[in-house]
Chains A and B, each alone.
Chain A
Amino acid sequence: MPILEGQGVTKYFGGLAAVSKVDFAVDHGEIVGLIGPNGAGKTTLFNLISGTYPLSSGEVRFKGQKLNGLKPHRICRMGLSRTFQETKVFGNMPVLQNVLVGAFFGTPTHVSGADAAKEASRALEFVGLSAMAGYPIQDLTLVNQKRVEVARALATKPELLLLDELMAGLNPAEVSEAMGLVKRIRDRGITIFMVEHVMKAIMGVCGRIMVLHHGEKIAEGTCNEISCNKTVIDIYLGEETHAGS
């Protein structure tokens, strides 16, 4: 049984179908990539999974349980955590406290102060930011703020992690570092579903890729299948190469 599955997931904003009848499944231990041009509905799909807003129709199941109608905090406590495309760190507190929020509130059971502190510093260490634990979060670069978001999500002890454009705006060295991080997260037994524009990263870490276009799923398969898929090349990869050339 897949850890996460969606059937006919649809979301209308007014008359516009931002996500339309998308079926998907993510198996335990996988790293699945979600790609598509800007406005394809990738972040909307993540928002539907994590409960930011309700589905117009369709169904999302996590570990066999229906997520429809559940508030984001309930979904988080079930073990489904996420990061944000536009970083949403808590700008009014230091780095460690940011992660502490995840450790305190993100788990289904009550966590003691000492355990939460331990979990938070462990998560910070995992993303390599222990040295900055006491810094005001605003003093960190965007790259590091995104890593704090990862640490914060990890502190909730998730089984599935949604990464929304973790690598946007990173230089090539930082991209490989982030790819390493993603793999290490998976090696901890956490399933990953990630939206990404950096193709090198997608090809490098994902076992499987889904392609969204105008809110519809137009392709799905291994990296090789996707990079050879005619439609995908036309609407997405083609566009990129033209833009790049």
Chain B
Amino acid sequence: MNIASFASAHKKLVTVGFILLVLIFLATLPLYGNDYYINLLTTILMYTILAVSWAMFSGATGYMSLATAAFFGVGIMAMAFLYGTLPFPVIVVIGGVLASALAFLIGLVTLRLKGIYFAIFTFGFVMFISQTAYYTDVNILGNAWGHELPLMDPGMLHYAMLGLTVMTLLTIYFIRRSRYGLALLSIGGSEEAAEHMGINTTMTKIVLFTISSVFMGAAGAIYAPALIHVEARIAFNVFNSFVPILMAIFGGMGQLYGPVVGAAVFGYLDRTLRVELQEYFMLAFGIILVAVILFLPNGIVGLLPTLQERLRRLTARLRKGGETEQHANT
């Protein structure tokens, strides 16, 4: 039995084994990794949460939300303001709840907007909240120098982010498999038909948009200490709205693990390329993305079936070759 046929025969086993290996690696990393790598992986996990949550709603429905940075930023600001007054996990929950409350309000007013209007509104909203929060923080609350968060153990932040990642992935895995996942997809397919087939599309959109933002807010709260210095314009950086989208597109949105792969690859490139090839980073970023959009409409993971097929054919040919050789010998 060769590797390819074993993999196809025990697909579930291989998948579970692979996930376990990754989890073990991530869970034991703080024991032997240095701070640089721990930080890198925490960042990748953070991006994973953003990309997967974004893709759950926007990937399925086609409603392009650019509000990710707003939800993420609300989590960061929650931690900045509340750090030290409440236990860390409680603040993370508060970050998630505040973000989802905001998402609920945005959903209530904007999910009637279609296509580009929804995208533009959410984009404008990030700008609005960024400026408003900055003004309030500096001029009304008097935090002219932002907020300093004490240095926290990177290993502890890593475990918190890992825990949240697992929770996010599990929740979204089950949502995608459930009837609500089907409802979201049908809205993306044809909202009018979805509505006529008995789906309360407005409700579905608002509820799932709200759920997706919980994880974004919580991720922001956990990530805040890693920033050390927090101010509103950093917390609500609109870059954080686009990066998860690029990751999700790059990885492919058809599968749950697409955005995960995208976040891992991009998160890594982000850190390494930015250090080594500063000027070329954005250029490389752009070229890779254009290439993926043009040639891999289903993202990097869309390549997988093709590769599997190639591998299968290759092994089949090798085996055939072996057999003919045997025949020749007899």
Contacts and interface: CB of A to CB of B under 8 A. Distances in A.
Interface of A: 50-52, 71-73, 76-77, 81-82, 84, 88-93, 97-98, 100-102, 104-107, 113, 116, 152-153, 156
Given A82-B196, A93-B186, 17 more contacts: A72-B196, A76-B197, A84-B192, A88-B193, A89-B189, A89-B193, A90-B185, A90-B189, A90-B193, A92-B188, A102-B198, A104-B183, A105-B197, A105-B198, A107-B198, A113-B179, A152-B193
A81 B182 CA distance: 19
Interface of B: 179, 182-183, 185-186, 188-190, 192-201
28 contacts: A50-B196, A72-B195, A73-B196, A76-B196, A76-B197, A81-B197, A84-B192, A88-B190, A88-B192, A89-B189, A89-B193, A90-B186, A90-B194, A93-B185, A93-B189, A98-B189, A101-B182, A101-B183, A101-B186, A102-B197, A104-B183, A104-B198, A105-B183, A105-B198, A105-B199, A106-B197, A113-B179, A116-B179
A106 B193 contact: no
Contacts of A71: 195, 200
A81 B185 CA distance: 20
Nearest to A153: B197
Q: Main secondary structure on chain B at its contact with chain A?
A: helix
Complex A-B, nearest 4 residue pairs according to Cβ-Cβ distance, in ascending order: A90-B189, A105-B198, A106-B198, A88-B193
A82 B188 CA distance: 19
Contacts of A88: 190, 192-193
Nearest to B180: A104
A26 B200 CA distance: 27
Contacts of B183: 101, 104-105
Given A73-B198, A76-B197, A105-B197, A52 B182 contact: no
A144 to B, nearest CB: 16
Contacts, number: 78
Given A73-B201, A90-B190, A97 B195 contact: no
A92 B185 contact: yes
Contacts of A82: 196
A91 B179 contact: no
Contacts of B185: 90, 92-93, 97
Contacts of A101: 182-183, 186, 194, 197, 199
Contacts of B196: 50-52, 72-73, 76, 81-82
Given A101-B182, A101-B183, A105-B179, A156 B197 contact: yes
B198 A91 contact: no
Interface-centre pick from B182, B188, B201 (highest chain A CB count, 10 A): B182
Nearest to A76: B198
A218 B245 CA distance: 55
A115 to B, nearest CB: 12
Contacts of A76: 196-198
B179 to A, nearest CB: 5
Contacts of B188: 90, 92
B179 A104 contact: yes
Contact of A100 (B182, B189, B190): B182
B317 to A, nearest CB: 28
A153 B198 CA distance: 10
A84 B196 CA distance: 10
A140 to B, nearest CB: 14
B195 A156 contact: no
A20 to B, nearest CB: 24
